[in-house]
Amino acid sequence: MSHRLPLRALLSVPASEITDEAVYRNRRRLLAALAASPMLSLAGCAEAEPPAPVKARVDPAALKSGFKTTEELTRLEDIASYNNFYEFGTGKVDPSRAKKTLRTDPWTVSIGGECAKPGRLDLSALIKGLRPEERVYRLRCVEGWSMVIPWLGIPLGDVLKRFEPGSKAKYVAFTTLADPVQMPGVRYASIDWPYREGLRIDEAMHPLTLLATGLYGKPLPQQNGAPARLVVPWKYGFKSIKSIVAIDFVETMPPTSWNELQPREYGFFSNVNPKVDHPRWSQKTERRISGTASKLFAERIPTRMFNGYAEQVAHLYAGLNLRKWF
């Protein structure tokens, strides 16, 4: 689908939502400067471990209430044309304008680590065996913009259980494809490829966590993370890793791309939290992609704790200092 944002809309985007190209070309220098700072917090770093999660259950009715919303859906044109996917360019419109070079069929995902049945997952066979369901989730990006998206997907926990994670599996690590032929952005050192993310195992197994394979009833477009990505709706968008090729069960907190690059700005947990600001901007409000052809953003609205999913997920973090473990 071809969709270009209006010029005046692009010109009106605030600085917090446009990253200077020079920043991406000097990530390692920036990381070194941050590491040398005496104010650098270790919160969320892979070298530190948070306290064990509290075991609790959420009411089934409350859980199901999180699978949908009556909020206005973001237009498909906007979902598919305003993206963060550095493998296809660092600008928000770059991924949608990139040539469709990603080969998504066949597509396999390797599953390994602390599990009884490691192996390879054929995505096409999985989709046929577990019919994807539609869920409408809010997506809140760390830059301060948000969308409401009708996803197609399979609960990630249903997939992971097939591989029988063991008692040492405390976390789940995810890796994106990094092919410079299929993904031209990988040719540039904007981050340390491949892109990596991770969840605590109870987060990965939570019924809200979705292995998404489509949106608006159709397969995922390339720019939205085809053929399969995570959707973790109570966390900032960069946690919902795209084009996954590997999943590993691990005992300790796995390294993740943005946390390694800028640990003071991007914690491991990255739960949506209006009480904890990004070092360079407030997280108290957000702006929805407006859903009109003439205006990119709607007016600001208050950001909700856990992106509005507190009833379903707050129990996961009982007793955890969310300012330290941001």
> Of all helices (H) and strands (E), which one includes residue 161?
none
Please state, in angstroms and rounded to a whole number, the distance separating the CA atoms of residues 98 and 185. 10
Which pLDDT score is estimated for 32? 42
Q: State the virtual CA torsion across 67, 70, 75, 76 in degrees, nearest 10.
A: 20
SS3 state of residue 32: helix
Residue 321, classified by CB atoms within 10 Å of its CB into exposed (0-12), middle (13-18) or buried (19+), is exposed
> Of all helices (H) and strands (E), which one includes residue 285?
strand 285-289
Domain count of the chain? 1
Q: Percentage helix, strand, coil, to 5, in the chain?
A: 25, 25, 50
Cis peptide before 95 (omega within 30 of 0): no
Q: What is the b/e burial string over 35-49, where b = at least 16 CB atoms within 10 angstroms of the residue's CB?
A: eeeeeebebbbbeee
In a domain, 231, yes or no: yes
Which pLDDT score is estimated for 203? 98
In a domain, 15, yes or no: yes
In a domain, 285, yes or no: yes
Sites in the chain below the pLDDT cut of 50? 1-47
Please state, in angstroms and rounded to a whole number, the distance separating the CA atoms of residues 258 and 193. 11
Which pLDDT score is estimated for 290? 78
In a domain, 182, yes or no: yes
In a domain, 325, yes or no: no
In a domain, 78, yes or no: yes
In a domain, 135, yes or no: yes
Which pLDDT score is estimated for 293? 60
Supply the CATH number for residue 313's domain: 3.90.420.10
Diameter over CA atoms, the chain? 55
Q: Which domain holds residue 198?
A: 7-317
The 8-class DSSP code of residue 182 comes to: T
In a domain, 292, yes or no: yes
Please state, in angstroms and rounded to a whole number, the distance separating the CA atoms of residues 242 and 92. 15
Which pLDDT score is estimated for 307? 98
